Amino acid sequence: MKVTIGIPVYNCEAWIRESIASALAQSWPLKEVVVVDDGSDDRTSAICAEFGQQIRYTRQDRRGGNAARNQILRMASGDWIQYLDADDYLLPDKIQNQLETLPAEAIDLILSPTITETWRNGSTISRTTQEFNSPLDWYRAWFEWEFPQTGACLWRTQFLQAIAGWNEQLTCNQDYELYLRALQAEARIHYVGKPGAVYRLWSDGTVSRKDKTAVILQRTALIKQFLRWLEMKGRANPDRRRAAAITCFESARTLATQDLAVATRYYLDRKREGLIEMAGAAAPGRYRLMVSLLGFRAAEQIAAWTRKRASAAS
């Protein structure tokens, strides 16, 4: 089985060399590395040129990350596709660990835990490995926003082509929208517990970290879309609905740190839809009591005051 390792890149001169090197260092022997440059104007293209014929490099006008990922899909000659963001990297045996454990039946998508590195001032300050609930329920994991980061997956090329690849109209939640369509297409998923993809958190400039309101509103639209589909299929069991409601509650709390008026409307709208459940780390007992006595808006005002006071004291 041949694997295409596809790297979309835009202005990533600080990391692209390590990303490509980690792709070339994969112990799986039958592979190709495809790099699609989405109109970089820094030293990215010059760094890619250093690898010569070891990679297939192409450049396109600036069209966005999903357009670059779809170009990789068009160029791929592998049976499987490993996407790798240009600021992330793979451990040497990542692909081999996943492919060597394939069962006899056909599989469309292989998933493994993600290793997350958090960076500050040019160095790693923490490294954590993703953990999944047991037993695995990929529908619930989707609602909990716990699917692995893009690099932790292997996609069967034909399956990804069959579901039309990445949605180029989206600027955030791109991977979760793709996962949603994969689940709706009844993707046959294989789980490998050994992690091999490293996701770097080093910048606050990405859309998902810069515009949290847009991310949450689009995420909620996807949640509602997926719930409707599960209900139509008779698969929207209480555990999955509860996971969706907890995620919406957590989203309301995040929105409150951005715009309390927007967050209050969001909370009330989701509550009317039965999509609010106060549970988990975002719902300590004192907070739940405040909401029951004073309402969401007042509880968030008190929570903001408490945070501000704690920050001033430190």
Q: Which domains are assigned to the chain? A: 3-208 (3.90.550.10), 211-313 (no CATH)
- State the pLDDT at residue 135: 78
- State the pLDDT at residue 146: 93
Return the half-sphere exposure (C-beta side, CA atoms, 13 A cut-off) of residue 279.
11
Q: Could you give the CA distance from residue 164 to residue 80 in angstroms, rounded to a whole number?
A: 15
Residue 239 phi, psi (nearest 5):
-65, -40
The 8-class DSSP code of residue 29 comes to S
Q: Could you give the CA distance from residue 192 to residue 104 in angstroms, rounded to a whole number?
A: 15
- State the pLDDT at residue 207: 52
The 8-class DSSP code of residue 278 comes to -
Of the candidates 264, 274, 272, 269, the residue with the CA atom closest to the CA atom of residue 295:
264
- State the pLDDT at residue 208: 53
Query: Which residues fall within 8 angstroms of residue 182, CB to CB, at 6 or more apart?
Result: 108, 109, 159, 163
- State the pLDDT at residue 124: 84
Q: Could you give the CA distance from residue 7 to residue 69 in angstroms, rounded to a whole number?
A: 8
Buried b (16+ CB within 10 A) or exposed e, 268-291: eebbeeebbbbeeeebeeebeebb
Q: What is the mean pLDDT of each run of 10 residues along the chain (314 residues)?
A: 98 97 98 98 98 98 97 98 98 98 95 94 87 88 95 98 97 96 98 96 67 95 98 97 98 97 98 97 96 98 94 83
Q: What does the block give as tokens for 156? A: 């069967």
Q: Could you give the CA distance from residue 206 to residue 171 in angstroms, rounded to a whole number?
A: 10
- State the pLDDT at residue 118: 92
Distances (CA, A) of 14 to 17, 152, 235: 8, 21, 45
The 8-class DSSP code of residue 173 comes to S
